[in-house]
Structure 1
Amino acid sequence: MTLVPFKGGLLAQARVWTNLHDDELRRRAVQAAGEKDVYALVSLTTAYLAHGGGSGVLTSPRTVEAYALGTRQFVEYASSQAVNLLRPGRHDAQGYINTLLAAGRKPAGVQLKVAAAGCLYRALRWAGATEADPFRDARVPRDPTPGIVKRPPYSEDELADVLEQADVQAKFLLFLTAHAGLRISEALALEWDDLDEAAKRIQVRSGKGRKARVVAMSSSLARAARHYRGLYAPGGPEHVDGKRTTLPIRVFRYADMTTARYHVEKAFKAAGVKFRGFHPGRKYAGTRLLRQIKDFGRVAAHLGHSSVDTTRKGYAQLAADDLKDDLAGW
C-alpha cells in the first residue's frame, strides 16, 4: 500500500503510522524503504518526529518542512546511487556527505541534510524496519568562518533606504526584526495584546523552543507600533472599511513568511537593496546592540538565544578597532 502526502495536523499525520499494529508498521516501513517510496518515507519520518522526537507534536512546522525536504533529497540520492536503505554500506553515509560538499554545499547546510537523513533512520529503527545507523560515525567538516561573516547583517544605510520605500506593514515588520530582533515567525505570530507601546515592551509568547520572553522596543519601533495600531487594530480604518479582511487578534494580515517576504521584498527592490532574508535584520539588531552595550549576555537575551555562543558566532560582532579607546592611554 503506497502512502500519499497527508495535509492534516501533526498528530493526525503521526496516527497514520502509530495506529498500525507493530507487524504492519514494520511491513509498511520495510516496503517503503525497499521501494524508496519518497512520500511514504517522508510520512514515516514526520510521524516519528511527532511521536518520538524531542518536541513531539509541538515540533515547529518549519522543522517538519526542513526534515521532509532533507528526507526527500537523501532518498532521491539513494535511488540514483543504488543505496540499499535497509542495509547501507559502511561508506554510503559519508559518500552522501561528500557528494553534497563537492556540489558546493556549505558545511552548515550539509549538517542540516545529515540531521534529516539521520532522522529517517531513527524512524526506520522506530518502526522495526532496520537496525542500521549509517550516519552515527559520519562527519561533516567544520566551517571556521563565523556565520556573521558569511551572512552579514544589513547595514545602517541599507535599512534606512528600504524603510523609506516600505509601506506601513512592511516598515513595522522590518522594525520588529531589525530593532526588536524578532525572528520572522515570532513577528508574524504577534497578537495585539503582545504589544505595549507605552511601556515599550513586546511579549513573545512562543519563541524558538517554545520559550517566552519580553523584548524591549526602541523609540522608533514604539512610534511605528502606535501608528500601525491606529490603522490596523480592531476598530481602525483599515479594519472596518468592509473591503479588507483582518484577523482581530493577530497583528499582521500576512498569513505566512512567503507572503511577508513578497511584500517586504518589493520595498528592497524599490530601494535598490538586495533582499537577503529576514535574518540579516536580526543580525543588525545584535551587532548594533553589542557595539553599544558590549555585553554578549544581554544581547543573547534580547535575541532569544539560549547560548551566548550562538550570539557570538552568528549574530553580533564588535568592530575590529573596538579596543582603541581602551588602549589609548597605554
Structure 2
Amino acid sequence: MALSYHARVTPSTALQQYTGDLLSSTREWTNLHDDELKRRAARAAMEKDVTELVSLTTAYLAHGGSSGVLTSPRTVEAYQLGTRQFVEYTAENAVSMLKPGRHMAQGYVNWMLAQGRKPAGVQLKVAAAGCLYRALRWAGATEADPFRDVRVPKDRTPGIIKRPPYSEDEMADVLDVADIHAKFLLFVTAHAGLRISEALALEWQDIDEDGGHIHVRSGKGRKARMVAMSTSLSRAARAYRVTHGPGGEEYDTGYRTTPPEKVFRYGTVMTARYHLQKAFRAAGVEFRGFHPGRKYAGTRLLQQVKDFGRVAAHLGHESVDTTRKGYARLAADDLKDDLAEW
C-alpha cells in the first residue's frame, strides 16, 4: 500500500463522543446524603428519567467499577447507551424498575434477540442494564437484581468470520481516495494493528520512525507496549511528520481541534469514523469499522510468521485465544504444501 501526500486538509464538523469528567460525575451523587441519594435514585427509577439514570449509572461505574475513574470513554459511552435503551424499554413496556417481575430480564434479552440483535451485542446491553441495577442498589433505591441469572445464547461463529478483515484490494482502493490524515490512520491501524483509541491517543514523541516502533502508552487495560512498524509505515510516518508534525507546513492550521502534541487532528472516535466513512464511500468500499483494519494486520502477519503468540503480542492481546478466534486466520489451503508428500 502506498501513500500519496497531496490531499488538502478541509474543516469539518462531527458528532462528539463522551468526554466528560468522570470524577465530577461521581461527586454529583456521592456528595449527597444517603437519604437524598436514595430518594433521588428511587424517583428517577419510578419516573424512568433517562438523564438521571444514565448519570447515576455513570457515577457508579466510575465509583464502583473495576477501573473506577480510569474507565475508558468508549466503555462509558457503551454503558450510557445501554442504560438509555433499557430505560426506554421499561417505559414502553410498563415495567416497574424498582420491583421488576422475575421474568422481566430474560424477557428483555429475548426481545432483543427477536429484534435481530447478535448475542454479543445483547450481552453488552445486559451488562449495562446490570450496572444500572448495581447503581440502584448502591443508592439504596432497591434490592432487585433481575439480571443475576439471565441467559444469553453464545454465538459460535468466530469473530473473524462475522466481521472479516479488509482485503488488500479494499485497502488499496480506499488509500487511493483518502485524505492525508485518513491514509495515515489506516496505516497505523492496518500495519501497526493499533486500536482506534490507541491511535488517537498517539503523541509525536510516541512515534520513532528511525527505530521502527510505536510506543502505545495506555492500551486496553491501561497496558503499555512497543509495536514494530512496517517499512512502509515508517516511510509514511516520516512524510506525515514533515507536513503535519511540529514545524511542518500544516502543523498549526486553524483546522486542528486536538492539542499540538497529538499526532491526529481527530479528537474523538466519532470524528475519525466520520472521515473514514467518507473515504470508504468515495472508494465504493463498505466501511465495517476500525477493527477489520486490526484484523488485516493480524491475518497478514499470521500468514507470514505462523505464530499466534507473536501476532497476539503485536495486537496487544493478553490471550492468544482472542487472536485466534477474532483477529487472525490462516488461509484454507495453508497446509497444502506440508501435506503434498503424505
Picking from 150, 156, 159, the partner of 2:171 is: 159
Q: In the alignment, what sits opposite 2:8?
A: none
Comparing both chains, which one has the higher relative contact order based on Cα–Cα distances under 8 Å and sequence gaps of 6 or more?
Answer: 2
Counterpart in 2 of 1:20? 32
Report if aligned partners of 1:238, 1:244 keep a CA contact under 8 Å in 2.
no
The amino acid of 1:54's aligned partner reads S
Aligned length: 324
Partners of 1:103 and 1:128 in 2: CA distance: 33
| 1:189 alignment partner in structure 2 | 201
Structure 1 residue 267, shift from structure 2 partner: 2.3
Asked if 1:40 is matched to 2:65, the reply is no
Aligned to 1:131: 143
Residue aligning to 1:215: 227
- The verdict on how the C-alpha distance between 1:327 and 1:190 changes in structure 2, with shifts beyond 3 A counting, is same
Amino acid at match of 1:271: A
One-letter code of the match for 1:39? T
SS at match of 1:180: coil
Distance 1:266 1:38 in 2: 33
Q: Taking structure 1 as the reference length, what is the TM-score of the superposition?
A: 0.95
Partner residue, 1:3: none
What 5-or-longer segments of structure 1 have no aligned partner?
Answer: 1-5
State the alpha-carbon separation in 2 of the partners of residues 18 and 56 from structure 1. Answer: 14
Paired residues for 1:61-100 under 5 Å: 61-100=73-112
Moved over 6 A (4+): none
Counterpart-to-counterpart distance in 2, 1:74 and 1:253: 34
Q: Which deviates more from structure 2 when the two are superposed, residues 244-253 or residues 211-220?
A: 244-253
Bigger Cα displacement from structure 2, 256-265 vs 209-218: 256-265
Whether the aligned pair in 1 keeps the contact of 2:204 and 2:245 (CA below 8 Å) is yes
Cα deviation digits, residues 190-221 of structure 1 (max 9, x gap)? 00000000111000011111111110000110
- Between the aligned partners of 2:26 and 2:205, the Cα distance in structure 1 is 33
- Structure 1 position 118 matched with structure 2 position 137: no
Q: How does 1:1-330 map to 2 (within 5 A)?
A: 8-240=20-252, 244-245=255-256, 247-330=259-342
Q: Do the aligned partners of residues 262 and 95 (structure 1) sit closer, same or farther apart at CA in structure 2, a change above 3 Å counting?
A: same
Over the aligned positions, Cα root-mean-square deviation in angstroms equals 1.5
Q: C-alpha distance in 1, partners of 2:20/2:187?
A: 34
8 Å Cα contact 1:287/1:318 also seen in 2: yes
Deviations 1:246-269 (A, max 9, x none): 732101111112222222223222
Give the letter for the 2:337 counterpart: D
Query: 1: CA distance between counterparts of 2:245 and 2:19?
Result: 32
Tell me, yes or no, if the aligned pair for 1:179 and 1:221 is still in contact at 8 Å: yes
TM-score (ref. length: structure 2): 0.92
Whole-angstrom CA distance in 1 between matches of 2:291 and 2:20: 29
User: Is the Cα–Cα contact under 8 Å of residues 202 and 216 in structure 1 kept in the other structure?
Assistant: yes
